[in-house]
Amino acid sequence: DPDMPFVPSIPEDQFILVEEGDPTVIPCRTSDPEAQVTLVNSLDKAVFAFYDSKQGFIGNFPAGSYTCKTMVKGVEFKSDEFLIYILRATSQLPVEIEALKTVYKTGETIVVTCVVFDNEVVNLQWNYPGKVKEKGLIKLDDIKVPSQKLVYTLTIPEASVKDTGDYECTARHATKEVKENKKVVITVHDKGFIHLEPQFSPLEAVNLHEVKNFVVDVQ
C-alpha cells in the first residue's frame, strides 16, 4: 500500500520492555516486502541492525526512542515512535523478608516487608492466614538509587488472633524458571500480658537496719 508503507502498530507494540543484555525486535513492518527501511534514534542518527520486513529490526538496542523511515516514490514516510525500556534482571533472585516485630496484640497493625534485590522483572505472591479474606494491603516501592530493589509491604490492619501463623513471600522471575521464597512467623495475642517471677518467698524476715534486695523477673 503506497499510502500506508508501514503496517499500523497498536500502542502495546510501541512500548518495548527488554531485559538487560537481551536482543529485541523494533516491530516496524512494511506493506512492501522490498521496501528499503532505515532505523533512526532520537537524535535522528541511523542505527544499523538486521531488518526483516515481517518482524522489524532485530538486535541489541540501548534504551531510548526509535523511528523507522522509508521512501515511496520520492516521498519519505515515518513509522510510529517505539520506546525501548531496559529492565535489570539477574539470573538469581536475592530476597529478604523483614518484620518490625513478630508478636502483636489484637487490634494492632501487622507490617511485613519483602525485598527483591537487583531485579525489575519479578512476580511476587504473598501467603498469610488472612489471604482468603483479602485482609492484607499490599504496596510496592520500586527503588533504583543507590541500587535496584523492589520493596513489597504487606499490612494487616486490626489484627486478631486468627492472623497468627506463617507469612511467606514467593518471588518468581518473570522470564526464567527461578523462584525464591522467605517466611516469618507472626503471633497475635488476645491481649497484652505481663509475667512476674519473684525470686523470694511469700514471707520474708529482715533484721533491724539490715538491707535486703527483693528481685522480680518481669516478662
CATH no. for residue 37?
Answer: 2.60.40.10
Peptide bond into 11 cis (omega under 30): no
The chain-wide mean pLDDT, for the chain, equals 90
Which DSSP state fits 213? -
How large is the average pLDDT for residues 200-219?
Answer: 93
Residue 22 forms part of a structural domain: yes
C-alpha 97/C-alpha 127 separation (Å) is 13
How large is the average pLDDT for residues 18-31?
Answer: 88
- List pLDDT tens digits, range 162-172: 999 999 999 98
Residue 158 forms part of a structural domain: yes
Global pTM reads: 0.59
User: What percent of the chain shows pLDDT beyond 90?
Assistant: 65
73 and 100 assigned to the same domain? no
How large is the average pLDDT for residues 23-39?
Answer: 92
**Band of the pLDDT at 107, cuts 50, 70, 90?**
very high
C-alpha 6/C-alpha 51 separation (Å) is 14
**Band of the pLDDT at 22, cuts 50, 70, 90?**
confident
Buried-exposed string 196-219: b where 16+ CB fall within 10 A, e elsewhere: eeeeeeeeeeeeeeeeeeeeeeee
